[in-house]
Amino acid sequence: MTTTGIGHIATFTRTAAICAAAAAMAFALAGCNKTAEEKKAFAQRMAAPTAVVMPASKGEPVEGGLTKSRDGYPSFGAPLTAANVQMSDEQAAELQHQLTALSAKRQSGAISEAEYQRRVAEMRELAARHGAETLSEITK
């Protein structure tokens, strides 16, 4: 009876090992199904963002963007500077008012769908261009 039990255990173990090897092979081959474009898009999503080092806006410039204590170690106690001037509350309220008015005109039928889409495209182009212009000013 022990021979039969050991035989069942050996058969079960062998079957489990074969199934595990097949599953590992399936997982390994699953990565091969991606196209070059999918692999490139994945690599871009996983890439670390590019750091932009800003000069100090007040006081003396600091080496590497961090102040150093007397013993030479970096100090994180200095206030950090923003990459750009933040939008004021008045500017945000004005922009929100413009967008709400545009949406209301669209819903009431005061402007056509084509005109609405043209204005939206104009705002998106402005946002894209403004970002690039601001970045070029920052890096000067």
Task: Express each pLDDT in 89-117 by its tens digit.
Answer: 898 888 889 888 888 888 888 888 888 88
> Do 7 and 41 share a structural domain?
yes
68, 111: one domain: yes
Q: 69 and 133 share a domain? A: yes
Q: What is the pLDDT of residue 21?
A: 82
pLDDT at site 66? 63
Q: How many domains does the chain have?
A: 2
Taking the C-alpha atoms of residue 42 and residue 130, their distance in angstroms, rounded to an integer, is 28
Tell me, yes or no, whether 31 and 73 share the same domain.
no
Chain center to CA of 35: 22
Rounded CA-CA distance 67/81 in Å is: 13
Do 21 and 71 reside in the same domain of the chain? no
Distances (CA, A) of 5 to 2, 13, 15, 17, 42: 5, 12, 15, 18, 50
Given this model, what pLDDT does residue 127 score? Answer: 79
Task: Give tens-digit pLDDT for 75-94.
Answer: 777 666 666 667 788 988 88
Do 71 and 109 share a structural domain?
Answer: yes
11 in any annotated domain: yes
Residue 25: inside a domain, yes or no?
A: yes
- For the four alpha carbons of 57, 62, 66 and 69, in that order, the dihedral sign comes to negative
Give yes or no: residues 126 and 92 share one domain: yes
Residues 14 and 72 in one domain: no
Range of the domain at 132: 63-77+88-138
Question: Do 72 and 110 fall within a single domain?
Answer: yes
- Are 72 and 131 within one domain? yes
Tell me if 116 is assigned to some domain.
Answer: yes
The dihedral sign for the CA sequence 127, 130, 132, 134: negative
pLDDT band at 1 (very low <50, low <70, confident <90, very high): very low
Q: How far apart are CA 19 and CA 13, in angstroms?
A: 10
Each residue's pLDDT tens digit, 12-68: 888 888 888 877 777 666 656 677 888 888 888 888 777 766 665 555 554 555 677
Q: Region 1-5: what's the mean pLDDT?
A: 58
**Are 126 and 71 part of one and the same domain?**
yes
